[in-house]
Structure 1
Amino acid sequence: MQAKIKKVELRNLAFEDYKQLKNSMVESYPEMADSYWRANDIERLLGIFPEGQLVILVDGKVVGSALSLIVAEKLVDKKHNYSQIIGDYSFSTHNPQGEILYGIDVFIHPNYRGLRLGRRLYDARKELCEQLNLKAIVFAGRIPSYGQYSNKLTPTKYIEKVKSKQLHDPVLSFQLSNDFHVLRIMKNYLAGDEDSKEFAVLLEWNNIYFDESPRLINTEKNVIRLGLIQWQMRSLGNLEALFEQSEFFIDVVSGYTCDFAVFPELFIAPLMADYNHLTEAEAIRELAKHSEPIRKRFQELAISYNINIISGSMPYLENGNLYNVGFLCKRDGTSEMYTKIHVTPNEVQHWGMKGGSEIKTFDTDCGKIGIMICYDVEFPEVSRIMADEGMNILFVPFLTDTQNAYIRVKHCAQARAIENECYVAIAGCVGNLPKVNNMDIQYAQTAVFTPSDFAFPSNGIKAEATPNTEMTLIVDVDLRLLKELHEHGSVRILKDRRTDLYQIKKIEN
C-alpha cells in the first residue's frame, strides 16, 4: 500500500484507461498467465454497456476495476461456465432487457488492497443495479484458498467453514461480508484456475427495490402520510353531529394529502348519552345500532376525500354477541372490518363484550397494514403474525382513561415497532363525558413510533401530539427505510429469530 494518497476516484471506465487497466490486472492475477483483458474486449464492452464498467483510480492511476453485463435470468439459472456467460468473449449474452447484472470481473491491485476499494466498487455496482431496476447482481466467485484444503474438504464443506469463519478465503469471505449469499457451487467454471480447483461459487445480491412491473400510474408509494386524529369527547346531539365533526377532521387531513385518516377507539361513545337511563350493557347495545350507518358514511367520505379511513372502533352486534370492531374504508370504495381480539376485564364486566377470532392484515394502495384495537397491542404474538404476513404499518386506535393505562399502550406499541421492524401509529381520545356511564375520563397522546436504528429517531418516536388536547398529527413514514432495515440493519430481528427452536403461528378456525 502506498504511504501517501492524495486522491481516490471512482468512475466509469474509458478506453483511454486500457494500458493502466492491463498493468493492474497482470499484477492482480500473477498466478494466472495472460489473465488480462485484450484491448478489443474492452472496446467491445464499452460499446455495448459503458455504464456497467467501473474503475477505481488512486492519484490518477487505475488500480482496480469491476466489469459487468446484463443477462437474462434464465441464463443464470442454467448450468454455465465463464466462457459461456461472456459469449466466448463476444459478449453476445448481454441483454438490455435482462433482469440480472452479472459481474464478469473485479480486481484491486495488490499494492492498494486493505483500503476497502473493492467495497467501493461493489457499492457502486449495487447502486447501478438499483438505478437500472434490475432484480439482482450475480457472479461466480473464485475460491482461491480451496486448493489448500481440497484433499480433505469437499467444496460444500469448505464453503460452510468459510461462512462460519473457521476458514478465510480472500475472495469468498469478502463477498459474504458484502451481503452476497451462496446460490450453488459451479464445477469447471474457469479453466486454468488451479488454486480454486476450477470450482467457483455462484453468489447473488438481491435488489430490494426491484419493481417487477414498473407503472407510470398507480405506482407503489414509498412515503406514506398519516393523519391521526386525537378526538375530543364532547356532547353530540345526534348521529349527524358525529358525521359533521368526523368530516371536518377528514377534510383537514385530506387537505394535507394524507393517505390515511385514523380515528380512536370508541370515539362514537358520546352518542350513548341518550341511553343513560338504561344499564351499561343495554346502552352500548343501543349504540351498536349506529355502526352500520357509520360504516356506510365513512365509505362515502373515503371516496369523496380520496383517503383511506380507519374508523377507530365501535360496538357491533352479530348473532347476539357484542364485539368491538372498526372498519377500514378504502378510497376505492371497498371496506373491511377488523375486530378487537383481546377485550379488557372492564369491557367484559360492564358490557359483556366478546373478543374476535380472526387475525389478518389488509392490502391497501400504500402496502400491507395491520390494525389492532388498544389492548391488543399488549399481546406481542398477534403483531408478529402480521409482520410475518408483510405488514409495514400497524395502526392502533385506543381509548385509555388514566395515564398509567396509556403508558401500557405506548410502551407496548414502541416494543411492537422495534421487534417487528415496522411503524406503529396510535390514536386516542381526550377529554371527558360526564353524562355517559362507564366513559368518564380519557387520557391520550397520539403518536407514531419507529424501529430503533440509525435511519430513525434515536428515541424511536417519529412524532407525538400534545397530551390531552384535541388536534391532528400528520406524519410521513418512509417504507424504503424499512426495506433497508430488514436487509442491512444493525440488527435484523425478523431474520435472526431462532425458528428452529420456536415459532408463532396462526390457528385456522
Structure 2
Amino acid sequence: MYRKELYVFNGNQPTPAVVRNYEEKDFSELINVQHECFPPPFPSELLWNREQLTNHVTLFPEGALCMEINGEIVGSMTGLLVQYDPENSDHTWEEITDSGYIKNHNPNGNALYVVDISVRPAYRKLGIGKVLMHSMYDVVVNKGLERLLGGGRMPGYHVKKDEMTAQQYLEAVVKGELKDPVITFLLRCGRTPVTVVADYLEDEESCNYGALMEWKNPFK
C-alpha cells in the first residue's frame, strides 16, 4: 500500500502532508470534498457515492489515493487499470470507468486510467493536485504499466466555442495562447495531449468535450 510524507507550501510556509490510500472510514469526507469541488452546474449524479467508493478500495485499492493535512482530507485521486489500444482512443468517461464504479477494472491492463482528481478549493494553491498526480505516476511505475491516461475537462471552452473547434482550443492552450483551469494544470503535471473526444462527459462548461491526455512510463 502507498504512503508518502512530504511538505506542501502555503506561500513560504511548509506544511506537513501525507499521501495515502483512502479507506472506508474516509468515505463521508471524500464525498464532502466532491461537493466542494464540483458545485452546480456540474451534474450531482456524477459525484461519488458510497457504492462507487467501496468498489475503488475493493477492486483497485492501489489506485485510491488521498492527501491529508492536519488529519483532514484535502484531496483525492482515483484510477483503474484498462487495456489501452493507442489506435482506438474513442470512448466516453462512463464507458471506460463504468460510470465511476470501475467494475470493469482489468488487473492485467497495460494502463492506469484516471477516474477522478479532486482538491478542496481552499487548498488549491498548495500544489496538492500535482502531488497527487505524481503519486499516481509512482503507481504506474511500481506496477510496470505503460502509461497513465485520463480525459481532462475543458471548462474554458464554452467561452470560445463560437470562435474555434474543441481541437483548436486544446492546441491554443498547449501553445500558451489560452489558459484552461484543467488542461493547463495537466500540462504542468507532465501530461501530454492524445486527442479530443466528443461527448466524453456531461459537462456544460466543456460543451461535453474531453481532452484525452497521457503520461508515459519513462522506464518502459
TM-score normalised by length of structure 1: 0.40
Q: 1:5 to 1:177 in 2, by over 3 A?
A: closer
What residue in structure 1 maps to residue 210 of structure 2?
200
Task: Answer yes or no: is 1:19 the counterpart of 2:28.
Answer: yes
Shift of 1:24: 1.0
Q: How does 1:48-59 map to 2 (within 5 A)?
A: 48-59=59-70
Structure with bigger gyration radius: 1
What residue in structure 2 maps to residue 136 of structure 1?
147
What residue in structure 2 maps to residue 479 of structure 1?
none
Counterparts of 1:36 and 1:76, CA distance in 2: 31
Structure 2 counterpart of 1:190, which letter? Answer: L
Q: 1:76 to 1:119 in 2, by over 3 A?
A: farther
Counterparts of 2:215 and 2:55, CA distance in 1: 26
SS at match of 2:177: coil
Q: 1:157 to 1:86 in 2, by over 3 A?
A: same
Contact 1:5/1:58 (<8 A) preserved: no
Contact 1:53/1:66 (<8 A) preserved: yes
Shift of 1:78: 4.3
Structure 2 counterpart of 1:162, which letter? Answer: V
Q: How does 1:108-123 map to 2 (within 5 A)?
A: 108-123=119-134
Contact 1:69/1:103 (<8 A) preserved: yes
Shift of 1:33: 3.7
What residue in structure 2 maps to residue 77 of structure 1?
88
Counterparts of 2:183 and 2:62, CA distance in 1: 26
Q: How does 1:452-463 map to 2 (within 5 A)?
A: none
Q: How does 1:48-197 map to 2 (within 5 A)?
A: 48-74=59-85, 77-191=88-202, 193-197=203-207
Q: How does 1:264-279 map to 2 (within 5 A)?
A: none
- What CA RMSD, in Å, does the superposition of the two structures yield over aligned residues? 2.0
Contact 2:100/2:115 (<8 A) preserved: no
Counterparts of 2:87 and 2:138, CA distance in 1: 21
Counterparts of 1:153 and 1:74, CA distance in 2: 29
Shift of 1:94: 0.7
Contact 1:86/1:104 (<8 A) preserved: yes
Which of 46, 52, 62 is 2:57 aligned to? 46
Shift of 1:151: 1.0
Structure 2 counterpart of 1:13, which letter? Answer: Y
Counterparts of 1:62 and 1:15, CA distance in 2: 13
Shift of 1:93: 2.0
Structure 1 counterpart of 2:214, which letter? Answer: E
Q: What's the CA shift string for 1:56-95, capped at 9, x where partnerless?
A: 1121111111100001113983421011012244423211
SS at match of 1:113: helix
Counterparts of 2:171 and 2:99, CA distance in 1: 32
Q: What's the CA shift string for 1:273-326, capped at 9, x where partnerless?
A: xxxxxxxxxxxxxxxxxxxxxxxxxxxxxxxxxxxxxxxxxxxxxxxxxxxxxx
Structure 1 counterpart of 2:93, which letter? Answer: Y
SS at match of 1:169: coil
Q: How does 1:352-501 map to 2 (within 5 A)?
A: none
Q: 1:119 to 1:46 in 2, by over 3 A?
A: same
Shift of 1:135: 0.2
SS at match of 1:73: coil
Structure with the greater relative contact order (CA < 8 A, sep ≥ 6): 1 or 2? 2
Counterparts of 2:199 and 2:43, CA distance in 1: 18
Count how many residue pairs are aligned between Structure 1 and Structure 2. Answer: 209
Contact 2:21/2:61 (<8 A) preserved: yes
What residue in structure 1 maps to residue 39 of structure 2?
30
